Amino acid sequence: MKRQQAIMFLTAVLLAAVVFADNGVNDLVAVTSVNSRIRLDIRYATTNNFTGKQVYPCAKACLHRPTALKLTKAQKKLEEQGLGLKVYDAYRPLSVQKIFWTIMPDERYVADPAKGSRHNRGSAVDVTLVELKSGKELEMPSGYDDFSARAGYTFTNLPPKAISNRTMLRATMTECGFVPFETEWWHFDDADWTKYPILDIPLERLP
């Protein structure tokens, strides 16, 4: 009887560990493992970003699996028109958020690490539109991480193409379960972002 109880206890501990892991590391998947046609340009793994420094040790775009599935739905919709998505950023460890905040302590553009960014939850993604075949970026109102009024949806003094591309990206992402961010045309939150905790898992440990 005692042995049976010990086995049951161990089973319960193991199950709890699995559930914990699923809410932490295991549920985060590489976007390209869900849809290899989604292109990547992980700017924080290069010096081509607002910090001017490489802040990620590797170029990875990870999201919670349900969020990645929503993104692949958007990709499929765009492919019907010969277009696709290119990801600039996805899951971002909290420690990196702290670096960003010291450089740009303005909540219109960077989330206060005391509250955490939705990127830290693996439930936000920065994307743009590309031509499916060539991968060439479509014209948008501004470059990525342009911390100015041009990046916001209320800015309309733009070429008509930039406005229509911005509108198409927003409409597609919204239709597929994302919520846009008024001051950044490239940023989208999974509508279910509150389900996920803030994480600080290093990118090197992710798939």
Residues in contact with Zn ion by the rule CB under 5 A: 126, 187
Residue 113 · residue 98 · CB < 8 Å? yes
Instruction: Tell me the CA distances in angstroms from 116 to 44, 51, 59, 101, 130, one per residue in order.
Output: 18, 19, 21, 10, 30
Taking the least distance from each CB to Zn ion, the nearer of 39 and 187 is 187
Q: How far is 39 from 142, CA to CA, in rounded Å?
A: 19
Taking the least distance from each CB to Zn ion, the nearer of 126 and 190 is 126
Q: From the CB of 22, what's the least distance to Zn ion, in Å?
A: 25
Q: From the CB of 96, what's the least distance to Zn ion, in Å?
A: 12
Q: From the CB of 173, what's the least distance to Zn ion, in Å?
A: 12
Taking the least distance from each CB to Zn ion, the nearer of 84 and 121 is 121
Active-site position among 131, 182, 184, 204:
184
Q: How far is 180 from 190, CA to CA, in rounded Å?
A: 9
Instruction: Give Cβ neighbours of residue 78 (< 8 Å, ≥ 6 apart).
Output: 84, 85, 129, 132, 172
Give 92: exposed, middle or buried? Use CB within 10 Å, 0-12, 13-18, 19+. Answer: buried
CB-nearest residue to Zn ion: 187
Taking the least distance from each CB to Zn ion, the nearer of 72 and 92 is 92
Which tokens sit at 19? 């559930």
Q: From the CB of 119, what's the least distance to Zn ion, in Å?
A: 6
137 given a catalytic annotation:
no
Q: What is the set of active-site residues?
A: 184
